[in-house]
Amino acid sequence: MKRILVIHGPNLNLLGQRETEIYGKVTLVEINSELNKIAAAQGVSLEVIQSNHEGDIVDAIGHASDKNIDAILINPAAYTHTSVAIRDAVSAVKVPTVEVHLSNIYKREDFRQKSLIAPATYGQITGLGVDSYKLGLQALINLIKV
């Protein structure tokens, strides 16, 4: 069975409570439930983590090959704009990775409009709410099932 690592970055544990005008009212539990339904229907297994700590995210990416992870779906959240370490980890593991965002980072503050992670990924989906995650997951499933 193919395995996909889903990484939720900092403050995503607060979805549904924080800045609902930007991120909506969906919770992380609801997002994970939707992703698990898609994965189960297509015979794929998910390993899901959420961390507010950059090093935990880097470690999870770095151990992807050891854990036989076939692809990574990541919402690096605030680390999108600041983390060379996460970018380097994504580049180093050579595991197909898709970056997703609930909000359209290109319609937000100037400092949020640059992703350090995206150039190291297979692709990026931004601004479609929960559908960003669903589309990112489907893209990875299509990619690894070939």
Q: To 5 degrees, how large is the angle CA 44–CA 69–CA 96?
A: 95
Alpha carbon 88 to chain centroid, angstroms: 16
Give the Cα separation of 46 and 53 in Å (integer): 21
Place of tokens 């965002």: 101
Place of tokens 């919402």: 75
Give the Cα separation of 9 and 6 in Å (integer): 10
Is residue 81 flagged as an active site residue?
Answer: no
Is residue 101 flagged as an active site residue?
Answer: yes
Backbone angles phi, psi at 101, to 5 degrees: -145, 140
Name the active-site residue from 8, 79, 101, 133: 101
Name the active-site residue from 8, 23, 79, 133: 23
Alpha-carbon distances, residue 23 vs 1, 27, 61 (angstroms): 32, 10, 25
Residues belonging to the active site: 23, 101
